[in-house]
């Protein structure tokens, strides 16, 4: 059913609606403090160490790919004497060897001073993302420019089409992953509802508050609706409703009511005659 519904909808229009809702929520969300909190938490939990190592390795690979540029820069800045004696090449080799050695030491030594400098910079960035008004405003402007960029819309259309096709593929599988996941989720919810007293109390409290709020807000309308509905019932409808609610016991209720009513009538008539 979900697959048929998804296929019946205009994919472009649905994708634009999803994109509009998503971008609207992103626009309401202030990204800078969230990024700062995430970075601060990562630093506190030492989850930033792989990032530092990746940055150092990336710097080494970048330096290796641009050795010729570094050598050319040193050769250009060197004076004529250094170039005439060939010392500029030795100087370039020394600079490159020193940089490679420094990066290797940073990777090997967890307590290297350069790591400490990088961590200080990351910690300051995390704090500025949360408390620096200028940086927060700059991040918000960058976010707005990114959302308004037509390239992002084009990228989202491609992402949405892949998501839609993937969802259709999974929905068409009767015993697919979505069905099994939904079954597991419902079973897990049932177990929690059955065995978790705290969850039971929370749901019951929510249900009571919801019902009380609905009765307070819409009580008059509910009473008017029920009253007008019952007024439109004829005798046959009322009898059918009562029989449906009470069941076969209704005939015994009728007999008991007749007998009790007759007996009470006889007693009242006898008392009236005696007095």
Q: Residues near 106 by Cβ (< 8 Å), separated by ≥ 6?
A: 56, 112, 114, 115
Look over the chain and give the mean of its residue pLDDT values, rounded to a whole number.
80
* 72-85 mean pLDDT: 64
Percent of the chain residues past pLDDT 70, beyond the cut: 90
- Residue 150 pLDDT exceeds 70: yes
Is residue 107 within 8 A of residue 57, CB to CB? The reply is: yes
Task: For 216-255, write each residue's pLDDT tens digit.
Answer: 888 888 888 888 888 888 877 877 777 777 666 666 777 7
Select from 15, 19, 10 the least CA-distant residue to 149.
Answer: 19
Select from 200, 195, 199, 167 the least CA-distant residue to 181.
Answer: 167
Residue 116 C-beta-side C-alpha neighbours within 13 Å: 4
* 85-90 mean pLDDT: 66
* 169-181 mean pLDDT: 68
So what's the pLDDT on residue 114?
82
Task: For 118-148, write each residue's pLDDT tens digit.
Answer: 888 888 888 888 888 888 888 888 888 888 8
Query: What are the start-end ranges of the H helices in the chain?
Result: 2-8, 11-28, 31-44, 49-65, 67-77, 80-85, 87-108, 113-131, 133-148, 150-171, 177-195, 197-231, 235-246, 249-274
Q: Where are the domains of the chain?
A: 2-148, 177-219, 233-274
Tokens read off for 34? 């969230």
């Amino acid at each position: 059913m979900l697959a048929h519904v998804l296929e019946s909808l205009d994919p472009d229009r649905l994708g634009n609606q999803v994109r509009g809702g998503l971008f609207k929520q992103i626009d309401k969300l202030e990204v800078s403090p969230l990024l700062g909190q995430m970075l601060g938490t990562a630093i506190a939990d030492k989850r930033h160490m792989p990032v530092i190592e990746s940055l150092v390795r990336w710097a080494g690979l970048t330096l290796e790919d641009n050795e010729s540029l570094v050598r050319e820069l040193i050769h250009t800045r060197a004076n004529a004497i250094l170039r005439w004696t060939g010392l500029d090449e030795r100087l370039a080799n020394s600079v490159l060897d020193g940089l490679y050695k420094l990066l290797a030491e940073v990777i090997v030594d967890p307590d290297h001073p350069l790591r400490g400098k990088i961590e200080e910079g990351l910690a300051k960035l995390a704090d500025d993302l949360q408390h620096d008004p200028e940086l927060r405003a700059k991040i918000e402007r960058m976010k707005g420019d990114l959302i308004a960029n037509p390239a992002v819309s084009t990228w989202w259309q491609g992402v949405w089409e892949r998501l839609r096709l993937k969802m259709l593929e999974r929905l068409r599988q009767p015993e697919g992953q979505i069905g099994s996941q939904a079954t597991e989720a419902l079973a897990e919810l049932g177990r929690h509802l059955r065995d978790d007293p705290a969850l039971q109390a929370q749901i019951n409290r929510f249900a009571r508050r919801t019902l009380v709020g609905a009765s307070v807000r819409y009580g008059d309308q509910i009473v008017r609706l029920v009253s007008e509905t019952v007024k439109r019932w004829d005798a046959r409808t009322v009898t059918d409703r009562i029989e449906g609610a009470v069941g076969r016991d209704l005939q015994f209720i009728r007999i008991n009511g007749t007998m009790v009513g007759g007996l009470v009538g006889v007693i009242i008539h006898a008392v009236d005659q005696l007095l």
